[in-house]
Amino acid sequence: MLKVAKFGGSSMADAGQYRKVRDILLADPGRKVVVVSAAGKRNKNDHKITDLLYLCYAHVQYGVDCTPVFDQIANRYLEIREELQINLDLEQELAALKLRLEAKNLTQDELVSRGEYFSAKLMAAFLDFQFVDAVDWIRFRMDGTVDEEASYELLRSQVRGKGVVIPGFYGLMPDGHIRTFTRGGSDITGALAAAALDADVYENWTDVSGILMADPRIVKDPLPIPEVTYDELRELSYAGAQVLHEGTIMPVREKGIPVNIRNTNDPGHEGTIIKEDFDSEIDPHRVLTGITGKKDFSIITVFKRGLTSQVGVLRKILSVLERHNISVDFVPNGIDNVSLVMPTEVIAPHLYKVLAEIQQDVEPNEIEVIDQIAIVAAVGHRMSSRPGVSGQLFAALGEAGINIRMINQGPDELNIIFGVDNRDFAEAIRVLYNSFTK
Ligand code: ASP
């Protein structure tokens, strides 16, 4: 059994967290490949090392002395080393880095990648594991995508028998420069390592006990989701639930490797398993997997008599949006009208031009624009085989006096998406949560 275990920033934040990581690894000999983030926040008011590294780079660009910020970063790592009595010389590398930074002989990506690099160096020495640098196997193409075949081959050729620690978040460009993924990208490194080594499971250790059924800022103590399919996760993440970096799923899904989200601070909790399908249902009464959503959408509704019987009207409307490079999230329609739903910040800068062009190209009877709309998504693959779910859902909202402004159900019946006024957003989520978990 081979497990790739990725530890996020909060799991790497200080010496105490390093000890927890070690205990987690010792508890299961299958956890042989470890991917780490840069040190994260130790408490609410603390700073992530990655943020400080970006700040450091900005200092140099603006000709401001970066020493105080640089020292703060260096000290975080030196403190961990001292407290854990790790035998590793960091001073030389830190000094060389600072010289290159001040001489402007260092790219931003290379500088910020050092957060993960020093984390991994320290963790490898602490565990007495092999350190495998990300530049020695993650290969980007010139367009910034990862060359998976080449990368996998390289990783396989370097991993020897004992445990391995790999820094997350970065890799190498064909021109020899370091490139980072977008923020949160250590998740992708973990997924690539799991795929390269055909791991049995990709464990993603963070500071929450898996994915919750609803946002805990809205619902008090929401239940965790024990199992979720990749497709459901995609739906949940679209509408707000931020669990994993979006580039994470593809490499593991292709290889059929399940992902297990776990909590470093509560390792006894099983967390959430994400995979293609589940044979057994954990709780057949749990029709909804999760409820999520986002605020601040706009809806443009075009009314035109005979719209459904005319050829090409929809195309004309969508062409207008295409000309303005606007992607539409949902297109619910009626007999003589069609609505276009998208985030307000996307449409607002183009709104008047778009309306004028629709007016000109389609000659509608009326166009209506509403904003301050929140989208709520009720997600659950079990909904498709269960009649009455939407009845229960809309009845619950009706009883709570929440007005529904738009309804959209995908053909795969994986979700029911509806729009409510922004001000009803939190209440709609609470009402649904209560209705489906009782
Ligand atoms: N350290 C990087 C960030 O803060 C990458 C990661 O932790 O996944 O975004």
Local confidence band at 228 (pLDDT 50, 70, 90 cut-offs): very high
Which runs of E-coded beta strand occur in 305-436?
A: 337-343, 366-379, 404-409, 415-421
Local confidence band at 307 (pLDDT 50, 70, 90 cut-offs): confident
Assess whether pLDDT exceeds 70 at residue 176. yes
Q: Position 208: which residue type?
A: V
Local confidence band at 285 (pLDDT 50, 70, 90 cut-offs): low
Q: What's the average model confidence in pLDDT over 226-247?
A: 85
Cα torsion angle, 268, 207, 262, 276, sign? positive
149 Cα distance to chain centroid: 24
Atom in ligand 1 nearest the alpha carbon of residue 245: 8
Helix axes 108-127 and 49-61, enclosed angle (nearest 10): 150
Of 413, 411, 412, 371, the residue nearest 393 (C-alpha): 413
Of 154, 182, 202, 259, the residue nearest 34 (C-alpha): 202
The pLDDT tens digits for 118-162 are 999 999 999 999 999 999 999 999 999 999 999 999 999 999 878
Local confidence band at 12 (pLDDT 50, 70, 90 cut-offs): very high
Local confidence band at 371 (pLDDT 50, 70, 90 cut-offs): very high
Q: Which pLDDT belongs to residue 177?
A: 97
Assess whether pLDDT exceeds 90 at residue 309. no
Geometric angle at alpha carbon 173, from 167 and 175, rounded to 5°: 135
CB atoms within 10 A of CB 366: 11
The residue written with tokens 């590793």 in the block is 88
Q: Which pLDDT belongs to residue 239?
A: 73
Geometric angle at alpha carbon 100, from 144 and 111, rounded to 5°: 35
How many angstroms separate the CA atoms of 86 and 70, rounded?
A: 21
3 has which bridge partners?
Answer: 31, 201
How many angstroms separate the CA atoms of 35 and 7, rounded?
A: 6
Of 326, 306, 309, the residue nearest 318 (C-alpha): 326
Q: Percent of the chain, pLDDT > 70?
A: 98
Assess whether pLDDT exceeds 80 at residue 280. no
Assess whether pLDDT exceeds 80 at residue 108. yes
Burial letters for 116-128: b for 16+ Cβ neighbours within 10 Å, e otherwise?
bbbbbbbbbbbbe
User: For atom 8 of ligand 1, which residue has the closest CA?
Assistant: 184
Q: Which pLDDT belongs to residue 308?
A: 80
Q: Which pLDDT belongs to residue 116?
A: 98
Q: Which residue has the higher pLDDT, 382 or 218?
A: 218
Q: Which pLDDT belongs to residue 284?
A: 62
- For the whole model, what pTM was predicted? 0.89
Q: Position 364: which residue type?
A: P
Assess whether pLDDT exceeds 70 at residue 241. no
Q: Which pLDDT belongs to residue 120?
A: 98
Local confidence band at 227 (pLDDT 50, 70, 90 cut-offs): very high
How many angstroms separate the CA atoms of 312 and 335, rounded?
A: 15
Probe residue for ligand 1, chosen from 108, 116, 179, 188 as the CB with the greatest number of ligand atoms within 8 Å = 116
Q: Which pLDDT belongs to residue 88?
A: 96
Of 163, 144, 166, the residue nearest 154 (C-alpha): 166
3-state SS, 224-290, equals ECCEEEHHHHHHHHHCCCCCCCCCCHHHHHHCCCCEEEEECCCCCCCCEEEECCCCCCCCCCCCCCE
Probe residue for ligand 1, chosen from 50, 207, 243 as the CB with the greatest number of ligand atoms within 8 Å = 50
Distance from residue 302's CA to the centre of ligand 1 (Å) = 43
Q: Which pLDDT belongs to residue 240?
A: 67
From 80-84, 107-111, 143-147, 205-209, the region with the lowest mean pLDDT: 205-209
Distance from residue 141's CA to the centre of ligand 1 (Å) = 21
Q: Which pLDDT belongs to residue 243?
A: 79
Q: Give the β-pairing of 130-131 and 201-206.
A: unpaired
Pocket of ligand 1 (CB under 6 A): 8-9, 37-38, 48, 50, 115, 168-169, 183-187
The residue written with tokens 């080449």 in the block is 150
The pLDDT tens digits for 34-73 are 999 999 999 999 999 999 999 999 999 999 999 999 999 9
